[in-house]
Amino acid sequence: MHSTVRENIMEHSEQVAQIAHALAMINNKVFGGNADANKCVTLAVFHECSEVITGDLPTPIKYYNSEITGAYKDLEAVANNQLLGMLPEDFRLDYEKIISPDESTIEYKLSKGADKLSAYIKCLEELKSGNKEFQKAEKTIKKELESSPLPELKYFMDHFLSGFKKTLDELE
């Protein structure tokens, strides 16, 4: 899809990190959880590092069917292992926990939720700029967010998302 608002991996990862931090704070303060906000931020910062090698593949292609999704996940794993292999031995285990994290942890789940929220915010920005190519993606991602088992995502959407829908003048 054509974007009117250009974004690179570093900008995307920074936004995901900020949202992941917010989700960890929501988990802890609103829902009485014990998410490690620093771990959420770290996972978010590194969540796209395989794309240094693989490049970005658009989401509709990445998740078109289970064969493509599986092949892409395999490719990401190869890229992550290649990146780990470039590190001095003393650092590999530490970075492996970051770029290939335990998917059962709340921090991983919150960082993945932050990535989904970031994609939704990207859709809102594009629609605000008049780019109608993002209409279907906005509806699809919104539905996924609303059906998520993570209450932190709903809380974020209910309490923070409205600011992303406003123009700069409306933020006053």
> Can you read off the two tokens belonging to residue 162?
């409205």
- pLDDT tens, residue by residue, 69-92: 788 788 888 899 999 999 999 999
> Can you read off the two tokens belonging to residue 134?
């993002």
The confidence band for 118, taking pLDDT boundaries of 50, 70 and 90, is: very high
**d(Cα 130, Cα 169) in Å, to the nearest integer?**
17
From the list 137, 168, 163, 133, the residue with the least C-alpha distance to 1 is 133
Residue 119: pLDDT over 70:
yes
Mean pLDDT of the chain: 91
> Can you read off the two tokens belonging to residue 111?
């960082």
> Can you read off the two tokens belonging to residue 158?
């209910």
Average pLDDT (40-57) is 87
- pLDDT tens, residue by residue, 7-33: 788 899 999 999 999 999 999 999 999
Query: 9-113, which class in CATH?
Result: mainly alpha
**d(Cα 51, Cα 55) in Å, to the nearest integer?**
4
Average pLDDT (121-139) is 91
